[in-house]
Amino acid sequence: MFDLTLSFDNGPEPEVTPRVLDILGERGIKATFFVIGEKLLDPERRSLSVRAHQEGHWIGNHTYTHSVPLGLQRDPDTAEHEIARTQALIGDLAHPQRWFRPFGGGGNLDDRLLKPSVVEHLSAGEYSCVLWNSIPRDWDDPDGWVERALTQCRAQTWSLMVLHDLPTGAMWHLDRFLALVEERGGRIRQDFPPDCLPMVDGQMKFEIDGLLAEV
């Protein structure tokens, strides 16, 4: 028995997100989509976020460009450019708790993730910062990630898993993965494990010094 929360990052993508939504819908599963701001400039892509929202999924902010990790950006306006701009595009699709997920390189949780000015921005804007504890690397192993994902689920009581609704081919295995989760007694839920939420509604919940750059 294990709990599993699903998140889909880096979309929306017309070739993949509709299929992910279909699969989740057929199985009655709710998840969170952490979207990239600049992708929402495209009306077709934004309409996919509208659909996800209408179907009960949560929409989170995953930066505007998803280019240079925030802790490595020297620009003092990083938070404005990457976070505020994305939140404005998400608009009324936003969850009241204003989910925000930073990104590292390859899913690492380290000091590239954030920097003090970004944390101040998140706090002032009453965001909730959503990390993760399961990253089966679907993007670089589109066929082999399912086994790794199941192993990660079995290793802890509650996994918050990062998958990607990107055209890598990985999501062709999503339905098989979800069938295996069910077969093994996994319980899928939409909320997040508290140890993955260092900030909730702008309030710090635990120390994140290890995730902060010194700039």
Nearer to Zn ion by C-beta: 2 or 48? 48
Choices 20-28, 37-45, 99-107, 119-127 (CB under 5 A): range interacting with Zn ion: 99-107
- Which position among 62, 66, 121, 164 bears the catalytic label? 164
Q: Is 49 exposed, middle or buried (0-12, 13-18, 19+ CB in 10 A)?
A: buried
Rounded Cα–Cα distance for residues 128 and 42 (Å): 26
Q: How far is the CB of 81 from Zn ion (least distance, A)?
A: 16
Rounded Cα–Cα distance for residues 74 and 69 (Å): 10
Q: Report the site for Zn ion in 6-35 (rule: CB under 5 A).
A: 9-10
| CA–CA distances in Å: residue 90 to residues 6, 50, 115, 199 | 20, 9, 23, 20
Choices 25-33, 43-51, 101-109, 188-196 (CB under 5 A): range interacting with Zn ion: 101-109
- Contact 176/78 with Cβ under 8 angstroms? no
Nearer to Zn ion by C-beta: 10 or 159? 10
Q: How far is the CB of 184 from Zn ion (least distance, A)?
A: 27
Give residues in contact with Zn ion (CB under 5 A).
Answer: 9-10, 103
